Amino acid sequence: MSRRLKVSSAQLGPINLADSRASVVKRMIEMLKEADSRGSKFVVFPELALTTFFPRYWYDDPNEVEKYFENQMPSPETQPLFELARSKGIGFYLGYAERSEEGGKAHHFNTSILVGPDGRLVGKYRKVHLPGHDDHRPNVPYQHLEKKYFEVGNLGFNVWKMFKDDVRIGQCICNDRRWPETFRVMGLKGAEMVVLGYNTPSDNVYAPHEPPYLRVFHHMLSLQAAAYQNGIWVIATAKAGKEDGFWLHGGSAIVAPTGEVVAKGTTEQDEVISYDCDLALGEYIRNTTFNFAKHRRPEHYKLISERTGVEIDLAN
Ligand code: CDT
């Protein structure tokens, strides 16, 4: 019997500062029901799905930002989502801001989890590639303070087996998708599918000349290249639209291991897209062009894990 997994990407439209977590969870529940009515067994929600994209705001008082973080998951507000998913036998990916106590100290991460169809936590990921800055820049149209509010993730890139067919699923978050290293590590661990959520501003605050269409193009380019170069399914889910006037692009997508887009969101609102993924589709890519065991030459890649920034290093 062929191994297939019907997945849905559940894009969220804007979440404004005034919106409660309970109201957001209600929207997610509606989308989970829609995914269920289509026969999906796996639903991918966005990055930092429960609140507005708060890293755009500077807070002088560090205690003020704590309100965006979750101390436990499921939290009282997300419990109904976990219960509904379990009752329907649906697994899901959820991004949220995590506050954890470790070694007697509070730690803050941009986190995502995979929850199995039985409601149990399968795996946790903490975002590695944190974009933006940690200093106060009051003169830009909006800030991007992930480097201030989160620590670099300490769990690495992992792959878990899920569902009755032991589908090998990896996860990452937003900016991670722009880095080929993210996917290659999971590809080397045998991933068949990588899922991720994102909040991507439509304007590039560091390069204001860059038009919004290029932002979406680079997003799609990253997903499609990662899917093809590792022979994996990639499911990416946006939080989109104008949050209190700050524009995040949509473009939630399901990309086949061939690099082809098989489903794509068309709105910047709550929207479910679905696809029945044939897990054998990537095998020919992983066995031929990207047969890692046969063709990779790690002795020539050392610099990738040793050097962070560019050092002009010419051969002549
Ligand atoms: N959330 C997130 O990682 N967003 C980034 C935008 C960074 S622009 C400073 C992204 O790569 O989409």
84 CA from centroid of ligand 1 (Å) = 31
Pocket of ligand 1 from Cβ distances under 6 Å: 47, 131-132, 144, 174-175, 178, 198-201
Rounded Cα gap, residues 149 and 232, in angstroms: 32
199 CA from centroid of ligand 1 (Å) = 7
pLDDT tens for each residue of 63-75: 999 999 999 999 9
Q: Which backbone phi and psi does 258 adopt, to 5 degrees?
A: -75, -10
| Catalytic status, residue 34 | no
201 CA from centroid of ligand 1 (Å) = 7
Mean pLDDT of 208-213: 94
Mutate which of 51, 142, 173, 199 for ligand 1 pocket (most atoms within 8 A of beta carbon): 199
In the chain, where the domains are located? 8-306
Residue 59 has pLDDT above 80, yes or no: yes
Q: Which long-range contacts (CB under 8 A, 24 or more apart) does 283-288 make?
A: 283/231, 284/231, 285/228, 285/231, 285/257, 285/258, 286/230, 286/231, 286/257
| Catalytic status, residue 101 | no
- Going from the C-alpha of 17 to that of each of 42, 75, 106, 145, the distances in angstroms are 29, 19, 24, 17
Residue 206 has pLDDT above 90, yes or no: no
Catalytic residue among 70, 172, 174, 192: 174
The ligand 1 atom nearest the CA atom of 48: 1
Establish how many alpha carbons lie within 13 A of residue 174's alpha carbon, considering only the half-sphere containing its beta carbon. 32
pLDDT tens for each residue of 165-200: 999 999 999 999 999 999 999 999 999 999 999 999
Rounded Cα gap, residues 34 and 84, in angstroms: 12
169 CA from centroid of ligand 1 (Å) = 23
Mutate which of 172, 200, 206 for ligand 1 pocket (most atoms within 8 A of beta carbon): 200
Single pTM value for the model: 0.98
C-alpha distance across the termini of the chain, in Å: 56
Q: Which fold has domain 8-306?
A: Nitrilase/N-carbamoyl-D-aminoacid amidohydrolase (3.60.110)
Rounded Cα gap, residues 113 and 234, in angstroms: 16
